[in-house]
Structure 1
Amino acid sequence: MVAYRTADGEEGGALAYRTAGGEEGGVVSFVEKKWSADWMWKVSGALLLLVALCLAALFFTWHFTGRLDVMNQASRTQAQSSSATTDPHGTLIQIGSGAKAAIHLEGSDDGDGGGLQLQWRKDQGQAFDQGGFRLSNNSIVVPQTGLYFVYSQASFRVSCGTGSAPTPLSHRVWRYSDSVGSRASLMSAVRSACQSQAPDAFRDGRGWYTAVYLGAVFQLQRGDRLWTETSPLAQLETDEGKTFFGVFAL
């Protein structure tokens, strides 16, 4: 074998051989080529493009997954908001049950009620108490000083005859605090029944139906007592959780 170099500087060689009859054959030459710089740049560029495509795919997957999470969260929030609008009674129970201290009472029409006072029960329907709240003498006793959400609803069904005068419906939450030494009205609302155009009300075969709802945040002291005053008691609806009273800590 004879080595040589071509005009381009590439290394080559020649190989002599003999035939089967012992005659000397020709010479076969070969050239050992090296990769050029252009070919190396092409390979490197292809690898960089592949890496860029992989990173783009990962980014798209991450971004799309994040958008799905945001959309799912928005859907859950919208569903919860819709539930709160259509069923405030059930929503308040759900919120209150997750609070550190909460109480939820349902109205009852048994007993004379003591004038304008509706009787509250903690052992019927969806009622419950936890975290130190207690029901004493038809009043809610606050266990600790802090911020609380107080809420109550009174539902009424009034029979309105032809030419009947509007019937006033009232609902109020009272508070007594030892630090003040007297009772004070926390919140109240008045609505009239038997009107030709009454907001948030409807009629059916049993009469004219509406509800008075109260709810707000208050700073309460340990030992404060909360109770309600409702009129007229004879027109109250107390079945199926239509009338309720509760407090939960914030």
Structure 2
Amino acid sequence: MMMYTSAPADPEAALEEKRVVVVEKRSLAGWMWKLSAGLLVAALCLGLVLLFAWYWQGRSEPMMSAGPTQALVQDPENETDPHDTLLRISSKAKAAIHLEGIHTEGQSVPDQLEWRNGQGQAFAQGGLRLLNNQISIPNTGLYFVYSQASFRVSCSEEDAEDAGTSKYLMPLSHRIWRYSDSVGRKASLMSAVRSACQQGGSAENDQRAKQGWYNALYLGAVFQLNKGDRLWTETNQLSELETDGGKTFFGVFAL
């Protein structure tokens, strides 16, 4: 027996239907791909936002915690004394020397402080030595050289008349000398000059004139020094010098 099946009345319509189905499947796949890409981009953006927030929070916490410390540094009343700062730095250097200065009336060498080692906070290490009131350099290299001379000068008219000087002409000077065998003569390494008394006529200046003017001459810089070099100081107005409490010092440390 022969079986017969019915064929579509319009073969072209059937082909068109198949084409529509294929197009619909391709459109669905494209939409799914776009959705996945959009979710991936959103996840990346969220991750970047979270990472930025974590980074900013980590930076803000140290800045907030460092705020009071910075304020203390900028406060003049809490500033670290230069003597203590230099003493801490030099104590960590391999070669260093830190000396305390004194002055005795009638000493044999004029215009020179007497430097002491092994007293108070003074020390020497790494080959730097105090010889004949001079610092001897053990090796050629870079060194930080520093010194400070502190004065309290009376600016009253009575004291000035007794000394035969003008009340407003009281220069203070402090200098570091260097002798090097390569040069064959002494040379000025650093120096500073300042006027002790100020003329103004104000109530504040009159009060300072009665109590005495406090002045500190500080010197400090880096130098290339040679083995065997010698350093020493020269200071005027030694009778007005203040040597207590680490106010007058002289030192060198290797870099």
Q: Given the two structures, how large is their TM-score scaled by the length of structure 2?
A: 0.69
When residues 71 and 221 of structure 1 are mapped into structure 2, their CA distance, relative to the original with a 3 A threshold, is: farther
Match of 1:54 in 2: 47
Pair 1:107-2:112 in alignment: no
* Structure with higher helix content: 2
| Structure 1 residue ranges without an equivalent (≥5) | 1-8, 10-35
Q: 2:117 aligns with which of 106, 118, 122?
A: 122
Match of 2:187 in 1: 184
SS at match of 1:116: coil
Q: Given the two structures, how large is their TM-score scaled by the length of structure 1?
A: 0.70
Match of 2:3 in 1: none
CA contact (8 A) 1:175 1:226 kept: yes
When residues 71 and 41 of structure 1 are mapped into structure 2, their CA distance, relative to the original with a 3 A threshold, is: same
Q: Distance in 2 between matches of 1:146 and 1:74?
A: 39
CA-to-partner distance for each residue in 1:64-104, whole Å, 9 max, x for gaps?
A: 43565578789878866878965222222232233332211
C-alpha displacement at 1:240, in angstroms? 0.6
Match of 1:153 in 2: 148
Match of 2:247 in 1: 242
C-alpha displacement at 1:40, in angstroms? 7.6
Match of 2:222 in 1: 217
Query: After the TM superposition, which of the residue ranges 111-120 and 220-229 deviates more from structure 2?
Result: 111-120
| Amino acid corresponding to residue 159 of structure 1 in structure 2 | S
Q: Distance in 2 between matches of 1:177 and 1:160?
A: 39
Q: Distance in 2 between matches of 1:73 and 1:147?
A: 34
Q: Distance in 2 between matches of 1:208 and 1:184?
A: 31
Match of 1:17 in 2: none
SS at match of 2:189: strand
Q: Distance in 2 between matches of 1:113 and 1:193?
A: 26
C-alpha displacement at 1:39, in angstroms? 6.3
Aligned residues: percent identity?
A: 56
When residues 133 and 114 of structure 1 are mapped into structure 2, their CA distance, relative to the original with a 3 A threshold, is: same
Q: CA RMSD in A?
A: 3.5
SS at match of 2:120: coil
